[in-house]
Structure 1
Amino acid sequence: MGQRQKAGDSTRLPAISRRAVIGATAALPLAGPARGLAPVGAAEIPAQCANWIALDLEIDRLASRWSQLETLAVRQFDYFRLTDAQISALPMGPEMDATDAECRRLGDVREEALKPLGKLTPQTIQDVSAQLAIAYRILDFERGDAWPFVRQAWTFLSRSYCPGCGAAYAPSGSLRVEPQ
């Protein structure tokens, strides 16, 4: 970008990247609810989605820790030739067992929490972005079914309009959507 303006006391203001300016201006028109719908529990869907993502990230952290312990066991012991009892007797064995058990428990909690999230109907663009964040994690890391989240987001976007200019977020016919 060009030169930065000087502040009143001869210090320079921080540079603002082109990406930051474009991102800030693009976010403003998306902030409103769908036309004709009042935002109901605006923070509810994003908060529920954020809780699910935090749980998913915790499982990732635990799985990474288990992997580190397994790598350590491979380096120090003949890990792949040990029985389960022998692995549990290793110095890192109890932590590996506890980490594995916690990953399995949290995985079950995550699966149960996902079912109702896929049935929520977004009322704001924030709801849509929260649901698409879950869809992204499912597609990228889980290889699971993200279709309910994508369908809900598309349904919202196809009936929503920019509060600034009135243009449709997703004009009809712009994408083909498979029926349920």
Structure 2
Amino acid sequence: MDSRLQAESADVRARRPSRRFVLAGGSAAPFVTGAAAGDTDPEVARCASWLAIDAEQRRLQLEWGMLEGWLITHRSWYKLAPAQQAEIREGTRLAEIDARLNVLEVEGHALLKAMRPRPAKSVEAVIANLSVAARLIFVEDHPEAHGLITRAVRDLAAFSGGK
């Protein structure tokens, strides 16, 4: 685990939502397809890159959650001192995942920041932006908004010939 989390007390860790909980808030929004290197609209490629980062984050969050559960059940993970945690092989993988998730968070945030001020120049870019928005809005928190966005993605894709 990174130093931020190591410094926290067990009480604070117990109240903080786990990555497994965060993952459960995710949704099955559509992904942008066709964002090949030859696309003329860089916004589509930018969105596709963000969606790829999001997919990797979700995969790693799932792995992290499963590994965390195993460590809690089989190694009393949060009862161990940081030095003891460092001696456990599976704890090393947890730290690797955590470090990668930190990198992906920075990269994803930079891409989101780059998307904001740019108006879309194609229907494909609108679809790509809406696909990103669908991943950012949890269906459990805002089912109506999420449904409208995912329907808009499907409708725009159908109107544009499925591009």
In 1: Cα distance, 2:63 partner to 2:90 partner = 11
In 2: Cα distance, 1:83 partner to 1:136 partner = 40
Q: Is the counterpart of residue 67 in structure 1 residue 65 in structure 2?
A: yes
In 1: Cα distance, 2:106 partner to 2:121 partner = 28
Shift of 1:132: 0.6
Query: Are the counterparts in 2 of residues 42 and 127 from structure 1 also a CA contact under 8 Å?
Result: no
Q: Secondary structure of 2:85's match?
A: helix
In 1: Cα distance, 2:137 partner to 2:129 partner = 12
Query: Are the counterparts in 1 of residues 41 and 122 from structure 2 also a CA contact under 8 Å?
Result: no
Question: Structure 1 length normalisation: TM-score?
Answer: 0.53
The count of corresponding residues between Structure 1 and Structure 2 is 107
The structure that has the greater radius of gyration is 1
Equivalence for 1:140: 138
Q: Secondary structure of 1:140's match?
A: coil
In 1: Cα distance, 2:99 partner to 2:129 partner = 28
Query: Are the counterparts in 1 of residues 41 and 121 from structure 2 also a CA contact under 8 Å?
Result: no
Shift of 1:87: 1.8
Shift of 1:63: 1.3
In 2: Cα distance, 1:83 partner to 1:107 partner = 27
Identity rate, percent: 26
In 1: Cα distance, 2:85 partner to 2:113 partner = 36
- The CA RMSD measured in Å over matched residues stands at 2.6
Query: Are the counterparts in 2 of residues 42 and 123 from structure 1 also a CA contact under 8 Å?
Result: no
Partner residue of 1:98 out of 76, 96, 99: 96
Q: Secondary structure of 1:92's match?
A: helix
Partner residue of 1:53 out of 46, 51, 75: 51
Which segments of 5 or more consecutive residues in structure 2 lack a partner in the other structure?
A: 1-38, 142-148
In 2: Cα distance, 1:84 partner to 1:59 partner = 25
